[in-house]
């Protein structure tokens, strides 16, 4: 062993996650830890509301500033001089994949990077539940009776209008336990534990973008 320390250990820094609610943040944390094992313990969350996807101009700048300030404040609480290595901000678009998704993602991410120098805007289409539909086996691993109907398998899940409703009404719900939002971290844990994230069934650009973000982050922000 060389004993070489990671960038995080060298400079005392943390990765900060902001998101719409606790389930979203926990889910993101599970996925991040798998992709960047060096981050374990180096991730902190902030509970500020995230309402960026419809914001523009000065309004967007102000809302991003609030999140960036809070992220820097929470880093400082980890010990004097601790800096924000990177910031992940999750939000659901609540709309399907298309130009609005691409434009919104770019607009908000540019503002985050303008203010912080790094950062990722994890905008899910239409919402994070669409990611779960890429992993029918993980859903069945959480609750055996949960089954993704054939018509939703192998599809672009970013085009589904209401993935949460699909999970609640069609994947679960006919008998036994019904999917609720608080199940999200358990589902993503099952995705990771089963190794399903390596071979999604179908596609979702917001899922792919998230993984590209994490990869770029590892190269440029955390160990750059």
Paired with 83 in beta bridges are: 13
> What is the smallest separation between the CB atom of 216 and Zn ion, expressed in angstroms?
7
> What is the smallest separation between the CB atom of 193 and Zn ion, expressed in angstroms?
25
Which CB atom, from 138 or from 214, has the smaller least distance to Zn ion? Answer: 214
> What is the smallest separation between the CB atom of 2 and Zn ion, expressed in angstroms?
25
Q: How many chain residues bind Zn ion (CB under 5 A)?
A: 4
Which CB atom, from 35 or from 61, has the smaller least distance to Zn ion? Answer: 35
Output the residue with the shortest Cβ distance to Zn ion: 217
Which CB atom, from 119 or from 163, has the smaller least distance to Zn ion? Answer: 119
> What is the smallest separation between the CB atom of 86 and Zn ion, expressed in angstroms?
3
**Distance set, CA 214 to CA 15, 79, 118, 211, 222 (Å):** 12, 25, 12, 5, 10
Q: Beta strands of 67-219 (E only): which ranges?
A: 83-92, 120-124
Q: Are 86 and 221 in contact (CB under 8 A)?
A: yes
**Is 221 among the residues that bind Zn ion (CB under 5 A)?**
yes
| Residues numbered 112-131 forming contacts with Zn ion, rule: CB under 5 A | 118
CA atoms within 13 A on the CB side of 214: 19
**Is 217 among the residues that bind Zn ion (CB under 5 A)?**
yes
**Is 209 among the residues that bind Zn ion (CB under 5 A)?**
no
Which CB atom, from 63 or from 221, has the smaller least distance to Zn ion? Answer: 221
User: What is the total residue count of the chain?
Assistant: 224
> What is the smallest separation between the CB atom of 163 and Zn ion, expressed in angstroms?
26
Which CB atom, from 98 or from 117, has the smaller least distance to Zn ion? Answer: 117
| Residues numbered 37-96 forming contacts with Zn ion, rule: CB under 5 A | 86
Q: Are 92 and 23 in contact (CB under 8 A)?
A: no
Burial class (CB in 10 A: 0-12, 13-18, 19+), 117: exposed
> What is the smallest separation between the CB atom of 217 and Zn ion, expressed in angstroms?
3
Integer-rounded Cα Rg, in Å, for the chain is: 18
Which CB atom, from 118 or from 201, has the smaller least distance to Zn ion? Answer: 118
Beta carbons within 10 angstroms of residue 44's beta carbon: 17
**Is 25 among the residues that bind Zn ion (CB under 5 A)?**
no
Binding site for Zn ion (CB under 5 A): 86, 118, 217, 221
């Amino acid at each position: 062993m060389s004993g070489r320390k990671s960038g995080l250990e060298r400079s005392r820094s943390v990765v900060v996650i902001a998101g719409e609610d606790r389930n979203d943040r926990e889910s993101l944390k599970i996925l991040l830890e798998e992709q960047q094992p060096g981050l374990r313990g180096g991730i902190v969350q902030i509970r500020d509301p995230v309402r960026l996807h419809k914001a523009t101009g000065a309004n967007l700048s102000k809302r991003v500033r609030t999140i960036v300030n809070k992220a820097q404040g929470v880093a400082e609480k980890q010990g004097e001089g601790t800096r924000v290595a990177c910031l992940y901000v999750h939000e659901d678009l609540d709309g399907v994949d298309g130009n609005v998704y691409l434009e919104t993602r770019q607009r908000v991410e540019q503002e985050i990077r303008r203010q912080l120098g790094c950062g990722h805007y994890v905008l899910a289409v239409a919402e994070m539940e669409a990611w779960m539909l890429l992993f029918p086996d993980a859903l069945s691993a959480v609750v055996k009776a949960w089954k993704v109907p054939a018509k939703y398998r192998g599809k672009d899940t970013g085009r589904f209008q209401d993935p949460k409703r699909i999970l609640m009404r069609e994947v679960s719900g006919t008998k036994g336990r019904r999917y609720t939002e608080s199940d999200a971290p358990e589902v993503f844990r099952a995705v990771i534990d089963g190794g399903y994230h390596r071979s999604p069934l179908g596609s979702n650009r917001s899922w792919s973008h998230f993984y590209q973000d994490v990869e770029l982050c590892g190269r440029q922000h955390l160990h750059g």
